[in-house]
Amino acid sequence: MKSLFAFAAATILLAACQTTPPEPLRATAQLQPTKGNKTFGEATFEQVGDKVRVVVFVQGLKPGQEHGLHIHEVGDCSSGDGMSTKGHFNPFGKPHGPQGSAERHAGDLPALKANKAGRANVQIDLDIITLTPGPASIIGRGLIAHADPDDYKTQPTGNAGARIACGVIQPG
């Protein structure tokens, strides 16, 4: 009898959980080459404590060169040149800037530093972005790898040049 009650309670609890979708605590983006390019990669975004752990792997970069990397405002790669992702994700109205500065776009990420094989990775924990709903949520936004280094000064782009790979940040 007792176990039957527990079973019923568990069933009801399970049903209640299923009616509200779980919060997206993990997201991914597949970076695909834009027109005329061969750069591709993958990014994962995972909630770790009160921060979001960003892990990005990219291949097909110019060997030995730095490449700007940003979260852009719109998760739309349909223009083929990455321009449909619009500008850097900037929910707090800040200037473009380097890591460690409070004066930067939420979407400003550390540069990709390509090795001799044209591969690069970035890992960083950020509290300026979220996976949960809110102004700083990166779900549904764009991820862009650039042809050139980010100078972290030129407004509002960092003068990082063409957009060579584009992805959409999606839950899961």
Kindly list the residues in this chain that would bind Cu ion in the complex (CB under 5 A): 70, 144
Per-residue contact track with Zn ion, 40 to 79, x per CB under 5 A?
----------------------------------------
- Name the residue among 62, 163, 39 with its Cα closest to residue 118: 62
Out of Cu ion, Zn ion, none, which partner does residue 144 contact, by CB within 5 to 8 A per kind? Cu ion
**How far is 97 from 107, CA to CA, in rounded Å?**
10
* Residue owning tokens 């094989």: 117
Residue closer to Zn ion by CB (options 24, 66) is: 66
**How far is 98 from 168, CA to CA, in rounded Å?**
23
Out of Cu ion, Zn ion, none, which partner does residue 141 contact, by CB within 5 to 8 A per kind? none
Contact pick of 68, 75, 108, 130 for Zn ion (by CB under 5 A): 108
Q: What are phi and psi of 2, to 5 degrees?
A: -60, -45
- Considering only 16-24, 53-61, 71-79, 106-114, which stretch makes contact with Zn ion by CB under 5 A? 106-114
- Name the residue among 55, 63, 80 with its Cα closest to residue 165: 80
Structure tokens given for 124: 């960083």
Residue 98 CB, shortest distance to Zn ion, in Å, is 10
- Considering only 8-16, 78-86, 96-104, 134-142, which stretch makes contact with Zn ion by CB under 5 A? 96-104
**How far is 169 from 139, CA to CA, in rounded Å?**
5
